[in-house]
């Protein structure tokens, strides 16, 4: 499955959940398929999406979905250890694993040979789910029913959709997300 299709299918099954999305094409693709004040598009600081998700989940009660990548997770692998040890019940970490650094020219990561789901299980994660690349329909409801932290390993095809950059200022993304989280109209 293409990553943009995975993003489209998962977000169509979300309701009140908050979303933290990884740098580069994943955020651009998410913005293209669906924009919402519930989305925080991380435009810099590669590796930090799972950490921002952890902080958001620890600070309030709504469910938080993080869309992270294999290269980004490998850049901040300690985040898995902190997430498992803090164990927020409202956090779902989705790794969109295309086995490459997709936003910089598809250079290989190590995730083809190092199984990230097994890494998460080794860290201690009890609830892990794998979606294979060959699947063409994602039923996300089992994930949403599990108690967090949940580690979702979603294998996707390499390659980016032809989508433009996000026409929002970083501060605007932050401010509208905060108003949404804190219930300020």
Partner 1 sequence: MDSSQAVFDGLKKAGIDFVVSVPCVNLGKLMEMVDCDPEIIHIPVTREEEGFGIAAGAYMGGKKPAILMQNSGLGNSVNVLASLFKLYQFPILMIISHRGTEGEFMGAQVPMGEATTGILDTLEIAYINPKTPADALKLIPESWLLAELAGSPLGILLEIGFW
Of the pair 44, 164, the CB lying nearest partner 1 is at 44
DSSP secondary structure of the chain: --HHHHHHHHHTT-SS-EEEE-TTHHHHHHHHH---TTEEE--S-TT-HHHHHHHHHHHSSS-EEEEEEHHHHHHTTHHHHHHHHH--TTEEEEEEE-SEEGGGT-EE-STTTS-HHHHHHHHT-SEEEEE-TT------HHHHHSPSSEEEEEE--S-----PPP-S-HHHHHHHHHHHHTT--
Of the pair 24, 155, the CB lying nearest partner 1 is at 24
Binding site for partner 1 (CB under 8 A): 20, 40, 42-60, 76, 78-79, 81-82, 86, 170-171, 173-174, 177-178, 181-182
Of the pair 116, 173, the CB lying nearest partner 1 is at 173
Closest separation between CB of residue 65 and partner 1, Å?
Answer: 13
Of the pair 4, 91, the CB lying nearest partner 1 is at 91
Closest separation between CB of residue 152 and partner 1, Å?
Answer: 19
């Amino acid at each position: 499955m293409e990553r943009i299709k995975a993003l489209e299918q998962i977000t169509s099954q979300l309701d009140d959940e908050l979303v933290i999305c990884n740098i580069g094409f994943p955020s651009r693709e998410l913005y293209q398929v669906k924009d919402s004040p519930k989305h925080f598009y991380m435009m810099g600081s590669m590796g930090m999406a799972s950490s921002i998700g952890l902080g958001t989940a620890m600070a309030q009660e709504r469910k938080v979905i993080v869309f992270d990548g294999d290269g980004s997770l490998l850049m901040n692998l300690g985040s898995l250890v902190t997430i498992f040890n803090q164990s927020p019940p409202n956090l779902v970490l989705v790794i969109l694993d295309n086995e490459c650094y997709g936003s910089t020219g598809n250079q290989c990561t190590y995730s083809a040979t190092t199984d990230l789901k097994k890494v998460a299980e080794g860290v201690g994660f009890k609830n892990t789910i794998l979606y294979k690349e060959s699947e063409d329909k994602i039923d996300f409801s089992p994930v949403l029913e599990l108690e967090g932290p949940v580690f979702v390993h979603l294998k996707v095809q390499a390659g980016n959709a032809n989508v433009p950059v996000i026409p929002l200022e970083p501060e605007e993304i932050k401010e509208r997300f905060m108003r949404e989280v804190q219930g300020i109209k």
